[in-house]
Amino acid sequence: MQVLVLNSGSSSLKFQLFSMPDETILCSGLIDRIGFNDANFKFKTQKETIDFETQILSHKAALKLVSQYLLDNDSGVIQAPEDISIVGHRVVHGGSYFSDTTEITKAVKEKIRFLSSLAPLHNPPNLEGIEVAEDIFPNAKQVAVFDTAFHQSIPEYAYKYAIPNEFLTEHNIRLYGFHGTSHKYVSEKAILFLGKKESKIITIHLGNGCSMTAVKNGKSIDHSLGFSPLGGLIMGTRSGDIDPSIIFHLKDKLKFNLKDINALLNKKSGMLGLTGYSDLRDIEAMASKGNTDCLLALQMNAYRIKKYIGSYAVALNGLDAIVFTGGIGENSKYMRQLICEDLEFLGINLDTKRNNSDLRTIRAINKEDSKAKILVVPTNEELEIAKQSVNLFKN
């Protein structure tokens, strides 16, 4: 059985084609910097690797390019659309409607569209991916795996907001949590690596979108993103945590309308608002040249993450490991160093030589005497989505 997995991020599209259930990767790829003139397309099969820059301004255009290389090149990945049995889609926000992997129907798509206001950078491209895939692979079963599902184990005292009760009971306003597929995958890998039946882990997913989860014995008990993917850490274009009264000040004193405020906080803030760049690679490059805005933004980013490490260590009542994952977490030595500085009191001691290693496998980068492990665990949301998609049809 061949399963295609599409993972549409806010500015990227990752894809993998699996032979299941043996989990063999037939091809994989990434399009990042979607919306930029210099978007990068990578397509890897068992026979060849294709890598080039192009202008890709939308997720729809990105998906069409992927399908072109799946079907039209000479690599022989698939001969016809009918070769693919299942297309698994990452969908960010399932709200209170979806807590499990779900086969996509017209009603499911309408719910995903309805929830787009809560995840405006994600649910629309997720839905676009579904609709394009339905056209290209009409005979395949389309499956949604929701980012929010892993966080259903968060206790009520952690997911409930301190607003009148009816906003939860009647309107389902609560903390939902996101990046759940990634946090689930890397926490399970970390638990196996630690070899502990009981564990207290903080998973740190850093990319254009960023989030952290307190994971106790394999279960999510708290998470940095809440009702939508806007709060928490500083992200590529999203503000993360701010004082809610700022919104009223923007509206009443600076005469912003609500649509403009939404765009400001989701698309014009975060690292972009602080530096003029949303891609951390650009920001680190400018910081190395002495750009003070970029230097400060990196320090702010690391400081926010440290605050969450401290609070989650308390929530867990201890700490066995912190786990770095995601494009930034796996690849930015500098950010990992900034984050781990001055955390010795929590038993976190970074080994500089190990941190500077270019290995791309799960590894510990802490000193031998560090009480808490510092792990780098490459995420594979696509494999997790493929497994959940196949399992949906086993019964």
- What CATH number does the domain containing 243 carry? 3.30.420.40
Do residues 228 and 368 share a domain? yes
- Computed over its alpha carbons, how large is the radius of gyration of the chain? 21
The verdict on 351 and 203 lying in the same domain is yes
**383 occurs within a structural domain:** no
Q: Are residues 130 and 209 in the same domain?
A: no
Residues 212 and 81 in one domain: no
The pLDDT of residue 342 is: 97
In this structure, the strands spanning 200-206 and 102-103 are: unpaired
Asked if residue 395 is part of any domain, the answer here is no
Let me know if residue 159 belongs to a domain: no
On whether the CB atoms of residues 357 and 350 are closer than 8 A, the answer is no
Q: Do 347 and 200 share a structural domain?
A: yes
Classify residue 191: in a domain, yes or no.
Answer: no
Give how many domains the chain has, as a whole number.
2
Structural domain span for residue 204: 196-376
Task: Report pLDDT for 7.
Answer: 87
pLDDT of residue 81: 80
124 in a domain, yes or no? yes
Whether residue 121 lies inside any domain: the answer is: yes
Decide which of 107, 128, 146 is a domain's last residue: 146
Helices 292-316 and 333-340 sit at what angle, rounded to 10 degrees? Answer: 60
**Rounded Cα–Cα distance for residues 94 and 388 (Å):** 16
Before 138, cis peptide (omega within 30)?
Answer: no
pLDDT digits (tens, 9 = 90+) for 225-244: 999 999 999 999 999 999 99
Which residues of the chain carry a pLDDT beneath 70? 72-76, 395
- The pTM score is 0.87
Q: Which amino acid is at 209?
A: G
Same domain, residue pair 205 and 344: yes
Same domain, 139 and 203: no
Q: Are 136 and 204 contained in the same domain?
A: no
Verify that 229 and 108 share a domain, yes or no: no
Shared-domain flag, residues 215 and 300? yes
216 and 130 inside one domain = no
User: What's the pLDDT tens digit per position in 129-152?
Assistant: 899 899 989 999 999 999 999 999
Phi-psi category of 317—alpha, beta or left, where left has phi over 0 and alpha has psi -120 to 50? left
User: What amino acid positions are annotated as catalytic residues?
Assistant: 147
Domain assignment of residue 23, yes or no: yes
Cα–Cα–Cα angle for 243, 247, 253, rounded to 5 degrees: 120
Residue 158 lies in a domain: no
Q: Which residues contact 248 (CB under 8 A, 6 or more apart)?
A: none
Give the Cβ contact number of residue 144 at 10 Å: 28
Q: Identify whether residues 307 and 242 lie together within a single domain.
A: yes
pLDDT at position 77, please?
80
| pLDDT on residue 75 | 60
